[in-house]
Amino acid sequence: MVQLLRKCQKCGSYTLRTDRCPRCDGTVRTPHPPKFSPDDKYLKYRMALKKEQLEK
């Protein structure tokens, strides 16, 4: 399923544009979490990245 909705990281508004926010020209990203899978192949990498970010 293609997720069309994007959220601006700067002002928090929602848009369908994929490059920049039309209001504040901030960066946009998808507001939806990744799909959950009990057989997550990348769990150890995500946990290491999260631990590294918390140590900063």
What pLDDT digit, counting tens, does each position of 7-36 carry? 999 999 999 998 999 999 999 999 988 787
27: in domain = yes
10: in domain = yes
Report whether pLDDT(6) > 90: yes
List the structure tokens of 34. Answer: 């990744």
54: in domain = no
Mean pLDDT over 28-50 rounds to 87
Overall domain count for the chain? 1
Q: Which domain holds residue 28?
A: 1-32
Of 27, 34, 33, 32, residue with least CA distance to 12: 27
Mean pLDDT over 34-44 rounds to 84
Of 25, 17, 1, residue with least CA distance to 9: 25
Report whether pLDDT(1) > 60: no
The pLDDT, as a whole number, for residue 40 is: 85
51: in domain = no
pTM here is 0.58
39: in domain = no
